[in-house]
Amino acid sequence: MTTTSPSAPHQLPRKLGLATGVAVVVGVIIGSGIFRVPSPIAAEAGNLTGITLVWVLGGIIALFGALSIAELAAMYPEAGGPYVYLREAYGRPLAFLFGWMWLLTTPISWAAQSLMFAEYLGFFVPIPVPLQHGIAAVLILVVAAANVRSVKLGAAIQNLSTGAKVLAIVGLSAAIFLLAPGGAANPLAAEPMGMAKWSGIGIGLVAALWAYDGWQNLTTLSGEVRNPQRNLPLALIGGVLVVLVVYLLINAAYLRALSVPQLAASKSVATDAATVVLGRAGASLIGALVMLSVFGTLNGSILSSPRVFYAMAEDGLFFRTVGKVHPKYETPYVAIAFIVVIAVIYVLLRDFMQLAEGYVLGVWPFLALCAIGIFILRVKRPDFPRAYRALGYPLIPALFVLATFAIVINSLFTQFWSTIASILITLAGVPLYFLWIWWQGRAARQAKRLSRETR
């Protein structure tokens, strides 16, 4: 499983290094979230103390998850990531359930990201809404084509876009700090810290976890990372740390330009904060930054997400054709094309921005189950080679699990129906699993019967 020797024709070659691993983690996490969720977090948290706690706690939860899941990534450096970890710890049914959830969220996420890109492009060039949908569909097709053509091309795009977006966000933060009003006119100086609104911390954390979501995407690329036992843990942990620093920096910049009530009421927090110090040019700058950020996230997702369906097809839990590797380009071109078709249909039908956010609670419980899998596999397979062991085990994995499920439970009290809907949609995969197994068994029996009849 860990060999780096030349791949068989049906396998994906290891062409990705540490820098690309970090770029995938950072690039997928930093998408549209940091430009959208600071406002609802401020509204829920209520003051500087609460806002700071939400962003720090969200970053710590993501970091604890990366510190934990890195052990599994080093153990099983195969395409599929969480799908593989759940299969090894719990068996095929739960792994299939994760794949079902991934199938629901991935094309919706691609559609949402491409639509946001098209909408912000309309800030520079007037574009009718129907044409925005067409542009979004073309963007998905172009990025997907680049990733089908070569994993190295997709990686190069990811490295460049991630570096550019991080530099742009740091530069924006520096500009706001340098140019924002000083003295008593500075909202950050005038705003009292206050006591945290604990009732709003849990709700705010759901939004923060959406902004921190995406670090797990690198694990789906595990089968293509060179020296995976070293590079996967380093990229996961290092990437999340970079994002945590960048998020705290840009949020501090927002609060230097806007008061907490202004931040909470803002419909476009980054634009409002930049406009305070840069005028109308600030709005244009943010529009370009959002487009760059969303483009990088879309490329990172297209580069990584289809590997889950490739792994499922290899296991016989999805259509075998989806597991095909291009004979020349050595990429899972059918898996990419499969999700592209669904994503383009979504784009052309309607705007899926809000729907994409609603599935956050579908992803993180599976990551918590992966962390529990560390405990299970240490008992089931104590002698299995572990190049990296989860830092702070058993405390850090346990805290990640407890924090994740505490947020889900809090959401049941505060956002009952949307949380229940997310859970029920995920659980709809259970009957689908048994239907798939029945259909596969039926097909196998028919094949045997035909074989006997033709002898």
| 179-190 mean pLDDT | 72
406 falls within a domain: yes
Q: Give me the half-sphere count of Cα atoms (radius 13 Å) on the Cβ side of residue 431.
A: 3
Interval 223-245 mean pLDDT: 95
- The pLDDT tens digits of the residues spanning 340-362 come to 999 999 888 765 444 444 455 67
The pLDDT value recorded for residue 99 is 95
Looking at residue 317, what is its pLDDT?
A: 93
How do residues 434-454 score in pLDDT, each as one tens digit? 999 999 888 778 877 777 777
Distance (Å, whole) CA 305 – CA 337: 12
pLDDT of residue 449: 79
Mean pLDDT of 53-65: 94
**Cα-trace Rg, the chain:** 22
Residue 110 in this model has a pLDDT that exceeds 60? yes
The region of weakest confidence among 99-103, 353-357, 430-434 is 353-357
Residue 261 within any structural domain of the chain: yes
- Asked if residue 181 is part of any domain, the answer here is yes
Average the pLDDT over 135-159 and give the result: 96
The strand ranges marked E within 373-435 are: none
Q: Which of 60-64, 98-102, 182-186 has the weakest average pLDDT?
A: 182-186
Lowest mean pLDDT among 178-192, 232-246, 281-295, 359-373: 178-192
Identify whether 262 is part of a domain.
Answer: yes
Q: How confident is the model at residue 8 (pLDDT cuts 50, 70, 90)?
A: very low
Backbone φ and ψ of 454, nearest 5°: -90, -5
Residue 392 lies in a domain: yes
Q: Which runs of E-coded beta strand occur in 22-147?
A: none
pLDDT at 169 (0 to 100): 93
pLDDT of residue 191: 64
Q: What is the CATH number of the domain that holds 341?
A: 1.20.1740.10
List of E strands, 363-403: none
* φ, ψ at 227 (rounded to 5°): 45, 55
Q: What separation, in Å, do the N-terminal and C-terminal C-alpha atoms of the chain show?
A: 38
Q: Tell me the average pLDDT across 399-403.
A: 93
Let me know if residue 7 belongs to a domain. no
**80-89, 402-411, 442-451: lowest mean pLDDT where?**
442-451
Q: How confident is the model at residue 316 (pLDDT cuts 50, 70, 90)?
A: very high
Position 300 scores a pLDDT of 95
Residue 158 to residue 22: CA distance in whole angstroms: 10
- The larger pLDDT score, comparing residue 199 to residue 359, is at 199
Q: In percent, how much of the chain has pLDDT > 70?
A: 91
Within a domain: 384: yes
**14 vs 32, more confident:** 14
Cis peptide before 233 (omega within 30 of 0): no
Q: How many domains is the chain partitioned into structurally?
A: 1
Q: Chain-wide mean pLDDT for the chain?
A: 87
Question: What average pLDDT does this structure show over 24-50?
Answer: 88
Residue 451 tokens, joined: 């074989």
Cβ neighbours for 62, distance < 8 A, ≥ 6 positions apart: 29, 209, 212, 215, 240, 243, 244
- Percent of the chain scored above 90 by pLDDT? 56
pLDDT for 145: 97
Which domain does 351 fall in, by range? 18-453
Q: Is the pLDDT of residue 455 over 70?
A: no
Q: What is the pLDDT of residues 280-297, one digit of tens each?
A: 888 888 889 989 999 999
With respect to residue 3, please indicate whether it lies within any of the assigned structural domains: no
Tens digits of residue pLDDT in 129-146: 889 899 999 999 999 999
pLDDT tens per residue, range 370-392: 999 999 999 999 999 999 999 99
3-state secondary structure of 229: helix
Which two three-digit tokens encode residue 310?
């490739």
